[in-house]
Amino acid sequence: MSDLATLLVETAHHWELLEDLDGTVVYCSPACREITGFDPAHFQGRADALGRIAHPGSRTLVSDFTREMRGAAPGVRRCLELCIQVQDGGVRWLRCHSRLITGPDGASYLRSTLRDISSRKALDLEMELSRLSDPLTRLYNRAFCLESIQRLLDRGSLAEDFAVVALDIDRLKKVNETLGPTYGDDLVRIAAERIASAVTAPDVACRLSGDGFAVIMQGKTPREMMAFVHKVLSLLDRPFILRGHEVNVTPSAGVLLGPALYDQPEDLLRNVSIALRRARESRNNRCKVFHSRLFVDASRQHEIEIDLHAGLRCGQFFLAYQPIVCLETNTVTSIEALLRWNHPRHGLMQPAEFLGVAEATDFIVPLGEWVLKQACHDMVETLVQRTDMGAVTMSVNISARQLAHHSICNTVARVLRQSGLPPENLKLEITETVAMENPVLTAQRLHAIKALGVKISIDDFGTGYSSLASLQNFPIDTLKVDKSFVGMMDSSTEQRKIVRTIIALAHSLNLEVVAEGIEQQEQWSMLKMLDCQSGQGFLFSHPVDADTMRAFICKERPQLRQ
């Protein structure tokens, strides 16, 4: 080497290494001292320079790389990033560029240039960590969860001893709305801490969404995994103290136990979510293990979703009408329209079997509009036939999605205009829980609807958590006492007290009160005694078709036997 060339190599920042094809170091530049802490003499004349300092995690990479390079054609260049252990025990990241060259003696040598990339690597790792972690809870995030599940799925049939658990708590939305998002963040953070406290390596906890968490478990028996799930549920069941406010949540869990043959981690997560949803819906079992039957349910829901569209197009929906009567005189004061579906394969379907899917897919918006049109049309017919029925209203149920949809007011106005039904003959029923989901928006929407001259009723009252203040903000005409209270009135004094309180509340707010689900004479007389004005139930009439309903209105009916 010329003096100048030697000077260049010896003073370079990067580390130059020349090895013969047996791996013996024939030249090692002094920069190795800066980078590794070792003197050049540590490597000079000895074999496998990089292999000896490679971090255990990089050892296989290094040996594969050097083997490949020694067999490569002259001039071929390759690059490797490796982690090394330096003299003081620390670790550093190096980028190694290698190529096979021919020396002045005609022999082949492996020339490697190594640069310290530790600071860039630290930045990369930090970025990778933030890509994979949730800033609020410091748990791993959805991306990490999916990548971890992918790694498990890549192990194929070997991955038997794993479970994916989806967890959620139910009060986040409420806390955000009532106490504010800072409290909501606290709730999520504390829930995350409780979950993380139960998790031990190699299991990992992730936050998937707002109040949705997942835990990926490995190397445990199904019994141990289920014990873990119940432990986490009980940890989440304890009261949460958010800046002095005590909040209680209801946690639920969906579990999928390995082995699981899925192509995509998303498919596995979807099935865990199905189990979680079932757990949430179930009153007495807050943990559900995924079973293919649940998947069949989910596919049936999917099938219903497709059939709903065809059903509306082909006229498979129809309305049944149930009268609401004055308890004093037994005359009809209102008629409630109840949706039915004549399904081509499943036969007659009740709203409980399809409304959830219609609601979840927003199909309830066009379907609800059809209900409104049909009910108004049938009511106009009724009023034409019975001119003395001018004060009777048609009650139409409105769902959460319909009420939230910006078009609701225009739709109601247009249907009234097109059908010719006077607005005071239409009443919209909104269930209490729907009204309370977003009281501010509800009040806004109800005021706009009320301005059209339409009446408003709060359905299934007593099942939600209305505050008197919110009720006063709604422009309502009627409260309908939920049928569960009426059904148990004769056997439970508690239920009777609730009914009495609701009736008194309605009177104090100057509202009409309707009791739902009256099936027995005793309930009729008890309700009358409690000063309830109107009632609805099988005792008076089941839901019937439009003609039967009209005949019912005309018929003379017996009064209450005292």
* Binding positions for ligand C2E, rule: CB under 6 A: 322, 338-339, 350-352, 355, 368, 371, 397-399, 429, 431, 459-460, 483, 516-519, 536-538, 543
Q: What is the rounded CA–CA span in Å between residue 496 and residue 481? A: 11
Nearer to ligand C2E, 164 or 358 (CB): 358
Say how many CA atoms lie within 13 Å of 114 toward its Cβ: 28
Binding segment (CB under 5 A) for Mg ion, from list 201-209, 273-281, 396-404, 433-441: 396-404
Q: How far is the CB of 543 from ligand C2E (least distance, A)?
A: 5
| Residues 505-524 within binding reach of Mg ion (CB under 5 A) | 516
Residues 213 and 139 sit within 8 Å (Cβ to Cβ): yes
Nearer to ligand C2E, 108 or 538 (CB): 538
- For Mg ion, the binding residue among 19, 168, 369, 429 (CB under 5 A) is 429
- For Mg ion, the binding residue among 460, 462, 503, 523 (CB under 5 A) is 460
Q: Is 425 in the site for Mg ion (CB under 5 A)?
A: no
Residue type, 475: P
| Residue 351 interacts with, from Mg ion, ligand C2E, none (CB under 5-8 Å by kind) | ligand C2E
Token pair, residue 18, equals 């020349």
Q: How far is the CB of 517 from ligand C2E (least distance, A)?
A: 4
Token pair, residue 90, equals 């620390």
Place of tokens 């995350």: 192
Residue type, 492: S
Token pair, residue 100, equals 């096979």
Nearer to Mg ion, 141 or 322 (CB): 322
Residues 112 and 77 sit within 8 Å (Cβ to Cβ): no
Q: How far is the CB of 556 from ligand C2E (least distance, A)?
A: 22
| Residue 29 interacts with, from ligand C2E, Mg ion, none (CB under 5-8 Å by kind) | none
Q: How far is the CB of 518 from ligand C2E (least distance, A)?
A: 6
Contacts of 59 (CB under 8 A, 6+ apart): 51
Q: What is the rounded CA–CA span in Å between residue 66 and residue 60? A: 10
Q: How far is the CB of 444 from Mg ion (least distance, A)?
A: 22
| Residue 537 interacts with, from Mg ion, ligand C2E, none (CB under 5-8 Å by kind) | ligand C2E
| Residue 371 interacts with, from Mg ion, ligand C2E, none (CB under 5-8 Å by kind) | ligand C2E
The pair phi, psi for residue 555, each rounded to 5°, is -70, 140
- For Mg ion, the binding residue among 434, 459, 486, 534 (CB under 5 A) is 459
| Residue 355 interacts with, from Mg ion, ligand C2E, none (CB under 5-8 Å by kind) | ligand C2E
Nearer to ligand C2E, 258 or 537 (CB): 537
Q: How far is the CB of 397 from Mg ion (least distance, A)?
A: 5
Q: What is the rounded CA–CA span in Å between residue 479 and residue 41? A: 92
Closest CA to 101 of 81, 73, 80: 73
284 by Cβ neighbours in 10 Å (0-12 / 13-18 / 19+) ranks as: exposed
| Residue 478 interacts with, from ligand C2E, Mg ion, none (CB under 5-8 Å by kind) | none
Handedness of CA 148, 151, 153, 158 (dihedral sign): negative
Q: How far is the CB of 495 from Mg ion (least distance, A)?
A: 16
Q: How far is the CB of 451 from ligand C2E (least distance, A)?
A: 22
For residue 280, give the 3-state DSSP assignment: helix
Asked if the peptide bond before residue 259 counts as cis, ω within 30 degrees of 0, the response is: yes
Nearer to ligand C2E, 439 or 543 (CB): 543
DSSP state string for 291-343: -HHHHHHHHHHHHHHHHHHHHHHTT-EEEEEEEEEETTT--EEEEEEEEEEEE
Q: How far is the CB of 286 from ligand C2E (least distance, A)?
A: 25
Using CB under 5 A as the criterion, which residues of the chain lie in contact with Mg ion when the complex forms?
Answer: 397, 429, 459-460, 516
